[in-house]
Amino acid sequence: MKNIIKLEEMAMLGLSLYALSFLDAAWWWYLLLALGPDISMIGYAGGNKTGATAYNLFHHKSVAVALFVTGLLLPHTGLQLIGIVLFGHSSMDRIFGYGLKTARGFTYTHLRMIGKK
């Protein structure tokens, strides 16, 4: 089952990369997809609960979809691109086993405990 979910996430990441190319995004949007949303880890400076909230805001796919759809309705290409970046990055994280965080700490996710055990 784990491999099926990883394949599904790979398909969503591929869709995100295609969407960026379809919108003629500049090269740095791809770099932003790979690294940008992880800036939310700064929230952990305020403690586990604040960190988890900040991290999850930037890594929750419904937030990404809402931003993308808002960008379609307005229309606002910047919001569309941000939504694609957040969606693609979340899929990339899930491929590697990183999930949404719990208030227990950074290593506790909805998928599994990460890091050293």
Q: What is the mean pLDDT of residues 41-47?
A: 97
The pLDDT mean for the chain works out to: 95
- Give the domain ranges of the chain: 2-109
Is 100's pLDDT higher than 70? yes
Q: Identify the H or E element spanning 50.
A: helix 48-59
25 contact partners, CB below 8 Å, separation of at least 6: 81, 84
Is 71's pLDDT higher than 80? yes
13 contact partners, CB below 8 Å, separation of at least 6: 88, 91, 92, 95
pTM of the model: 0.94
